[in-house]
């Protein structure tokens, strides 16, 4: 299979990246991050989550963040919504695209959203109905596709079954998440081969955390499988509050470098992206998780 000619990056830094941060981050700083990412040319930014603030306190101000950001025409600004309550809050905040999130592991589903996989899918039905009514597009996530922090191995047929359910209920795209970043390139190819038997490749995306340093290899393996949408996080920010020890997503800057090297178009400006990552890392007082950013900054 030949490599895709263009790739869409879904920037999840403001949501997946920041949700795990313990220190308070002001609405103004979150707004600045999203605006910086818009300026860098990202066409899709996951801005926040409409989840329980008791479960994920850092995402509590998501409505204010949506109210504060610049909405550039042609850019999608999305939010997570785990249930109808979250969807209604997102709608009230003017959100035009939401994402629902399920898991391929029962144990993770319970820890993350306090219900079984089956119950979570049932919860999404009214969300999908309301979204259809209001003309809101819905993206789907499946977590723990290559391993679970609680149950270990995950059956790829189970991943395919959950992805197929999300697809059938109307998610226009399903993102497969290696939540704890344990997967390897060979497993990634088998993952997409298996899931593509049930959901067409053009409706699948890859979401790789970089805990074991395999995320770029997994993205390359996914490209070879014909996948053309990847989630990434500026400066490699993040981790999941319900996946202890998992590091952030693959850094957007590093994915961009890979794509540029392959001649694959993404429309993103590297210098502006690096500047956005540096600004948020300075604010959080943490090292930049992008190797490309560190190398470029060291070069001066």
Ligand X SMILES: CC(C)(COP(=O)([O-])OP(=O)([O-])OC[C@H]1O[C@@H](n2cnc3c(N)ncnc32)[C@H](O)[C@@H]1OP(=O)([O-])[O-])[C@@H](O)C(=O)NCCC(=O)NCCSC(=O)C[C@@](C)(O)CC(=O)[O-]
Interface ranges with ligand X (CB under 6 A): 16, 19, 49-52, 55-56, 80, 82-83, 85-86, 89, 101, 112-114, 141, 143, 177, 179, 207, 240-242
As given in the structure block, the two tokens for residue 40 are 């860098």
Residue 256 CB-density burial (10 A; 0-12 exposed, 13-18 middle, 19+ buried): buried
Q: Pick the closer one to ligand X by CB: 179 or 188.
A: 179
**Closest distance between ligand X and the C-beta of residue 132, in Å?**
19
Q: Pick the closer one to ligand X by CB: 60 or 269.
A: 60
Distance of alpha carbon 210 from alpha carbon 283, whole angstroms: 22
**Closest distance between ligand X and the C-beta of residue 242, in Å?**
6
Cβ pair 44, 76 in contact under 8 A: yes
Q: Pick the closer one to ligand X by CB: 158 or 278.
A: 158
Q: Pick the closer one to ligand X by CB: 83 or 288.
A: 83
Q: How far apart are the first and last CA of the chain?
A: 39
As given in the structure block, the two tokens for residue 224 are 């070879």
Active-site annotation holds for 240: yes
**Closest distance between ligand X and the C-beta of residue 206, in Å?**
11
The gap from C-alpha 57 to its chain's centroid, in whole angstroms, comes to 18
Q: Pick the closer one to ligand X by CB: 4 or 86.
A: 86
b/e sequence 271-300, b meaning 16+ C-beta within 10 Å = ebbbbbbbbbbeebeeebbbbbbbebeeee
Distance of alpha carbon 7 from alpha carbon 228, whole angstroms: 5
As given in the structure block, the two tokens for residue 235 are 């400066």
Catalytic residue among 144, 148, 240, 281: 240
**Closest distance between ligand X and the C-beta of residue 123, in Å?**
8
**Closest distance between ligand X and the C-beta of residue 268, in Å?**
20
The angle, 0 to 180 degrees and rounded to 10, between the axes of the packed helices 156-168 and 117-134 is 30
User: Which residues are part of the catalytic machinery?
Assistant: 240
């Amino acid at each position: 299979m030949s490599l895709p000619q263009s790739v869409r990056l879904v920037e999840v830094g403001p949501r997946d990246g920041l949700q795990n941060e313990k220190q308070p981050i002001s609405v103004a700083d979150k707004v600045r991050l999203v605006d910086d990412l818009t300026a860098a040319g990202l066409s899709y930014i996951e801005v926040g989550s409409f989840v329980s603030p008791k479960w994920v306190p850092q995402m509590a101000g998501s409505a204010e963040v949506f109210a504060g950001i610049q909405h550039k025409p042609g850019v999608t600004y999305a939010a997570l919504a785990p249930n109808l309550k979250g969807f209604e809050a997102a709608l009230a905040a003017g959100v035009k695209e939401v994402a629902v999130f399920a898991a391929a592991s029962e144990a993770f589903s319970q820890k993350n959203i306090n219900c079984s996989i089956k119950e979570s899918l049932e919860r999404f039905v009214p969300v999908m109905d309301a979204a259809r009514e209001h003309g809101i597009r819905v993206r789907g996530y499946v977590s723990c596709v290559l391993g679970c922090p609680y149950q270990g191995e995950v059956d790829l047929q189970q991943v395919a079954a959950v992805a197929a359910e999300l697809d059938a209920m109307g998610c226009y795209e399903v993102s497969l998440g290696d939540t704890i970043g344990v997967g390897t390139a060979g497993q990634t190819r088998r993952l997409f081969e298996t899931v593509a038997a049930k959901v067409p490749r053009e409706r699948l995306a890859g979401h790789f955390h970089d805990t074991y340093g395999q995320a770029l290899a997994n993205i390359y393996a996914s490209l070879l499988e014909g996948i053309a949408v990847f989630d990434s996080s500026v400066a490699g920010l993040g981790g999941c509050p319900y996946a202890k020890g998992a590091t952030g997503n693959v850094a957007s800057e590093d994915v961009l470098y890979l794509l540029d090297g392959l001649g694959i178009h993404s429309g993103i400006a590297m210098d502006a992206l690096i500047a956005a990552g540096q600004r948020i890392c300075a604010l959080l007082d943490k090292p930049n998780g992008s190797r490309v950013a560190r190398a470029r900054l060291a070069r001066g």
